[in-house]
Structure 1
Amino acid sequence: MANMTSAMSALHVPHLTPLETTPRHFRHRQTPTGIRTIDTWIPGPGDRALFASLHLPSDGAVRGAVVICPPLAKEHISAYRGLRQLAQELAEHGFLALRFDYAGQGDSSGRQDDPLAVSQWQASVAAAVAYARRAGIESVAVTGLRAGALIAAATVDTLGDLRAMVLWDPVISGRSYVRELTSLYRVSVDDDPHHDDCTSIVGGVLDSAAVKDLSGLDLSTLDPGSSTKVLAAIRPEFAASPRTVRMLERSGAERMFVERQNQFVSPSSFVLSVPTHDIKQISSWVSRQFGEDKTVVDPEITSAAHVATADDGEEVWETLERRSTGSLFAISTASRTTTSHAATAVFHSTANEHRIGPARLWVESARTLAAHGIRSVRFDRMGTGDSGTVLTDENTPIVSPEARRNVLDLIDTLDVPPSRRMHVGMCSGAWMGAYVASQRGARSVVLLNIVNWSINNRRPPVKKAHVDAMESDVANRIFLVARTIRNAGRRAQRYVPYPLWLGLGFLGLVNAPESMLRTLTRRGTKTAVSLAPEDEAWFEANRGRQGVTRLSRSKNPPHVLFSGSGDHNLFHRSSRERVGRLIVASALDAFGDRRLAVSKHDKEGLGA
């Protein structure tokens, strides 16, 4: 394999050139309620491109705009669907609702470890408000969830007159929030062994200068002015805290209680819940602060943007797309000279994660691959991120047969033969990547912390987390009985003759790693597997090492790597860095550096 460390250094994000505005057309999905959803890039601070989604009535006539400021890191991933539902509700009340990612966060350009990150986040809020006003909207409100409320409040002096502001489950003290983030990382992940100027948090990494700036923010000093109506949607258990009381008194905010916030923004498992009742209350309050007069808006829509620059000056661009019969939201990443037929890496996310992957790893990996001339596509499977309608009180869906069909349809839309496709995924996303490769073929797959080793899976994928989300005593008792039977079977599996065990794996009745690995090997797919310690234990328990030993004699043996440290979710920074190098090295091993091939041709002939 190519040198992995040098491969990751081929990309940097300086101050970027402005967005390229495509012809004025709406890239949108019509919903049954007559709401139009538009995906676009908007200009952010320092010419950085910010990813945004607009939700507005189909006729374009709006009563005002509401800019929605998201939380940070893991809380943003957990709350993503709920914020989409809030935007849809606001659009039904006649507003243009604007969701966006801060610079260096989510899909937006920039680095998450930028020392000036906090000022970039604040400038991103101002840029989003300015974008709404340029569309022809005078009356604007701002809604911030968790850290989004703190960031919006710190920006209020730069936003001009606001009709209203909603502080939803707000972070009041930046200093306390930083302590909470770092403590949670140490308890749930591990100590950070790095000796640099960055601090790891669950779902990301911040420069020490940004940590200091974030610690200095304090919502209790908010003074939005007499013309701005303020709503504090807070948890009942925080109502009497001194910080909350000071914030309410200083801002003159109305108070509303919200429930189920833990399961919404910081769930204990991969199953989260969208608090539809609270969302309706918030959108109704916002609606009451505006008049009924409407203005027809004409927002500027940009489907492609410059998001990074390689060391040699080559521009990296990203295009917003809707693919497959399920209208899955996707983002295609490529260098300026890369053609649509180039070798392509497809990134599959897991659980409730949307297309950014664990702690933004898919975004950063895609932009690094683009610097080597390899195109990437990252997408939201049905029921996650921006794919599919958000349901009332939605819980994280289990990967369904429909999701499998949608992904196969998406792969069929790529104008690339199997020999130039690569799939990357973690956990259930790894399984989906292996499944697609088994059905459509692929040059390479990278399977990260995979736990389901049966492509032909016939076992119901019900987890304890799903049962807990049902809040049903009957469902819980049934699950406990089924788990007892399952555990007894696991204890007995070591006595099953290996040929029989492997056969049951091919039938989808047990978790035999060789069944999946042999299927991929037979198809000629280069397979790299990386397992954290807990996933290695599961692999061993299912006799995976025996299978790998048997496959080592084949012409195309899989490469299984045991990290020896780290965590399943790739929250640990060292784990992400190691996996990032593996992704790039696997791509270069499969396809080579496509930029070298491009340089042999006339770039003008490629449409550069």
Structure 2
Amino acid sequence: MTDPRRRGQNIWIDTDSGFIGAAWYWPLQVPAASTVVVIVPGIVHEERTMNGGLVALAESLADAGLPALLMDLHGCSQSAGRLEDADIGACWSAGIKAAVHHARCSGAARVIVVGVRLGVPLAVEALVDEPLAALIAWAPIVNGRRYVRELKMLQRTTDADAAAAGTIAIGGFSIPASVLDHISHLDLGEVETPATSFVMSRETLEGLNAPWLARLSQRGIIVQEQISTQIHPWLFSATDQPTMPYEDIQALTRWCRVLHDEQAVSGEPVLRRPMPRPVIEFVHQDVLVRETFVEIAPSGLTGVLSEPVNAAGDHPVRLLVSTVGPGRTFADFARDEASRGKTSLRFDFAGFGTSGRGDAAQGGELYTDSGGHDVLAAIEHLRGAGYKQIYSLGFCAGAWSMMQADVVPELRAMVAINVALYRQPDPKTPDSVERKRHLLGQITPALARNRLVRRVAPRLVRLRGKRHEPVDWLVRMCNTNVRMLLAYADLDLGLEYLNRQMDKGVREQLGRPFTLQTYAGLGHLAEGPTARARLFGDITDFFADLDREATSNHAPRAKASLAARSRIAAPPRTKTAGGRSVRS
């Protein structure tokens, strides 16, 4: 079973169109084989959904002795650029080529490329002249035009400007018309034959015997097919935490290891673990910006520190609870703030992205105490780096955990986007249940997160007494000098719940009023691009106003001495222009 303490080594890789983020997963307990596996993900909402499975695949490959390199595509996750960039197809190809070249620089005798969803046709397009040991197509997008039609059926936005521009909004991500146009021209049935002797497809039963595979077989490529029953629950479920495709991961790992054992010969060079490159400098909005991958103890959380190379004095640091955020807005916001002379740290919870998992099971968990602990670990990291003032920013479950964390003296302001104050914390699994789950997980990894086992925990905890509701955290925060901004989509369930609670007497418990702003067309996942742009413009202004107060020596000092039970009358509601701004 994969060691849960394993953590990828995050690096930057230069490309012809900028740079990409990537993570090496290197064997720890066994010698590194001479075959390296490069993993090419999908994009936007699918890239976020599949991330946990791809990290688990990289870990499994490393445990089998095969170094694995998990890359980001241009305009996605931590890589340079945006999806709106000109000639996005060339940018994607440049990143994939750079990742394979980087893998070869380790001394690899051969490279296997694993493409997932859109990553399959993108890899085939980019690497048509690149000799590969094998190409693995995992749940591939075969026809781009059909895929675009499916995306249009899934879109949720009511943003008229976005619709007029041909943009699709799904899962908080905006896919511009130029990207859709490039995707629509991708077709595995028409691409040139890849430079490899082996192609393996792992697909659902409906995807077997595809014509594009028959075409490759006719051209002399050895084609193998495997049936997957886990693609749908992994990639297409409606839950916050998709089912991990353990059976697929084990099957792909075995296939790669067998291929290596068949092709390896004696005397092959020993692989060299590439030198880490955690720091990169680049020009963003005409300002030289530096980004550094950092590790946040004790769970080994992945963080990215964004700062201007020529820092302008002491100022409050921004703490962003996610390296990506809705629609990758947190990465863009951090870089925008760096161009304005401000420093930001964005990080992922344990078990998400490339963050370590501590002693947890595979994958991360939302709405538990662990999220609040991770926020405090990030604050402690900033404290150790010498930062004395912090503004925090979180979205949805990230905002929830941000509010759950204890108030610390360094905290000056907090912005929570679409936070679900009605969401009760998931109860901590009792030690006896956790031990049984861990034992089952050692036998079959899929049982490590068995739903039937996990249902026992809430029943046991209910016998121990009721947990505090998240609205109490808001009251606690508003009885300090921390400035609070709550931002909601105008029809969000969290907003409806908050208003009901205010009418039930919460308003009288607030020592300091919070600011509430609502945005028509934003949506719960912040998928409305026009409203989202207005939202982040308001957040920028909110932080900038506080910066001006700080430089004028009028910045509020955060104090946690007032208990949440204090009942101090708050000012009445007032409305102001723009969106809807309410002081509650």
By the TM > 0.5 criterion, same fold? yes
TM superposition shift of 1:442? 1.5
* Secondary structure of 2:83's aligned partner: coil
Cα separation, 2, equivalents of 1:130 and 1:364 = 27
* Secondary structure of 1:165's aligned partner: strand
Q: 1:558 aligns with which of 491, 494, 514?
A: 514
TM superposition shift of 1:584? 1.2
Q: 2:207 aligns with which of 233, 238, 256?
A: 238
1:401 aligns to what? 369
1:309 aligns to what? 284
* Secondary structure of 1:98's aligned partner: strand
Look up the equivalent residue of 1:345 and give its one-letter code: R
Q: How does 1:203-242 map to 2 (within 5 A)?
A: 203-225=172-194, 227-239=196-208
Q: 1:329 aligns with which of 294, 302, 313?
A: 302
2:110 aligns to what? 139
1:161 aligns to what? 131
Cα pair distance change 1:258/1:340, threshold 3 Å: farther
* Secondary structure of 2:154's aligned partner: helix
Cα separation, 2, equivalents of 1:473 and 1:567 = 34
Q: Does 1:345 align with 2:318?
A: yes
- Conservation of the 8 A alpha-carbon contact between 2:7 and 2:354: no
Look up the equivalent residue of 2:306 and give its one-letter code: T
Cα separation, 1, equivalents of 2:204 and 2:184 = 22
Cα separation, 2, equivalents of 1:458 and 1:356 = 23
Q: How does 1:84-103 map to 2 (within 5 A)?
A: 84-103=55-74
2:12 aligns to what? 41
Cα separation, 1, equivalents of 2:224 and 2:426 = 50
Q: How does 1:505-584 map to 2 (within 5 A)?
A: 509-510=468-469, 513=471, 515-532=472-489, 533-540=491-498, 542-544=500-502, 550=508, 556-584=512-540
Look up the equivalent residue of 1:374 and give its one-letter code: K
2:20 aligns to what? 50
2:90 aligns to what? 119
* Secondary structure of 2:132's aligned partner: coil
* Secondary structure of 2:128's aligned partner: helix
- Conservation of the 8 A alpha-carbon contact between 1:41 and 1:49: yes
* Secondary structure of 1:157's aligned partner: coil
- Conservation of the 8 A alpha-carbon contact between 1:66 and 1:142: yes
Q: 1:82 aligns with which of 41, 46, 53?
A: 53
Q: Does 1:150 align with 2:150?
A: no
- Conservation of the 8 A alpha-carbon contact between 2:84 and 2:178: no
TM superposition shift of 1:131? 1.1
2:257 aligns to what? 287
TM superposition shift of 1:69? 0.2
Q: Does 1:299 align with 2:264?
A: no
* Secondary structure of 1:105's aligned partner: coil
TM superposition shift of 1:524? 0.6
Q: Does 1:448 align with 2:417?
A: yes
TM superposition shift of 1:508? 5.1
* Secondary structure of 2:162's aligned partner: coil
TM superposition shift of 1:573? 2.1
Cα separation, 2, equivalents of 1:57 and 1:410 = 28
Q: Does 1:585 align with 2:541?
A: yes
Cα separation, 2, equivalents of 1:509 and 1:232 = 49
Cα separation, 2, equivalents of 1:474 and 1:49 = 42
TM superposition shift of 1:226? 6.9
* Secondary structure of 1:57's aligned partner: coil
Cα separation, 2, equivalents of 1:56 and 1:230 = 24
2:233 aligns to what? 263
Q: State the aligned residue count.
A: 523
Cα separation, 2, equivalents of 1:405 and 1:33 = 18
- Conservation of the 8 A alpha-carbon contact between 2:304 and 2:347: yes
Cα pair distance change 1:391/1:324, threshold 3 Å: closer
Describe the superposition over 1:74-120 as per-residue Cα deviations: whole angstroms up to 9, x where unpaired: 11111111111111122223222111111111111111211311221
Cα separation, 1, equivalents of 2:222 and 2:374 = 49
Describe the superposition over 1:11-44 as per-residue Cα deviations: whole angstroms up to 9, x where unpaired: xxxxxxxxxxxxxxxxxxxx84997732111112
Look up the equivalent residue of 1:544 and give its one-letter code: M
Describe the superposition over 1:495-553 as per-residue Cα deviations: whole angstroms up to 9, x where unpaired: xxxxxxxxx9xx95456x4x44432232111111111212355325632356575478x
- Conservation of the 8 A alpha-carbon contact between 1:273 and 1:396: no
Cα separation, 2, equivalents of 1:474 and 1:417 = 41
* Secondary structure of 2:411's aligned partner: coil
Cα separation, 2, equivalents of 1:211 and 1:425 = 30
Cα separation, 1, equivalents of 2:374 and 2:398 = 14
- The percentage of aligned residue pairs carrying the same residue is 22
Structure 1 vs Structure 2 CA RMSD: 3.7
Cα pair distance change 1:273/1:365, threshold 3 Å: same
Cα pair distance change 1:470/1:91, threshold 3 Å: closer
Cα separation, 2, equivalents of 1:84 and 1:289 = 21
- Conservation of the 8 A alpha-carbon contact between 1:49 and 1:306: no
Cα separation, 2, equivalents of 1:320 and 1:474 = 34
Cα pair distance change 1:314/1:231, threshold 3 Å: same
Task: Name structure 2 gaps, 5 residues minimum.
Answer: 430-448, 554-584
TM superposition shift of 1:271? 2.2
* Secondary structure of 1:141's aligned partner: strand
- Conservation of the 8 A alpha-carbon contact between 2:41 and 2:71: yes
Q: Which moved more, 1:367-376 or 1:290-299?
A: 290-299
Q: Does 1:384 align with 2:349?
A: no
Normalising by structure 1, report the TM-score: 0.77
- Conservation of the 8 A alpha-carbon contact between 2:193 and 2:216: no
* Secondary structure of 1:571's aligned partner: coil
* Secondary structure of 2:382's aligned partner: coil
Which structure's relative contact order is higher, taking Cα pairs within 8 Å and 6+ residues apart?
A: 1
Cα separation, 1, equivalents of 2:294 and 2:203 = 36
* Secondary structure of 1:66's aligned partner: strand
TM superposition shift of 1:594? 9.8
- Conservation of the 8 A alpha-carbon contact between 1:171 and 1:177: yes
* Secondary structure of 1:264's aligned partner: helix
- Conservation of the 8 A alpha-carbon contact between 1:84 and 1:390: no
Cα pair distance change 1:34/1:288, threshold 3 Å: farther
Q: Does 1:374 align with 2:342?
A: yes
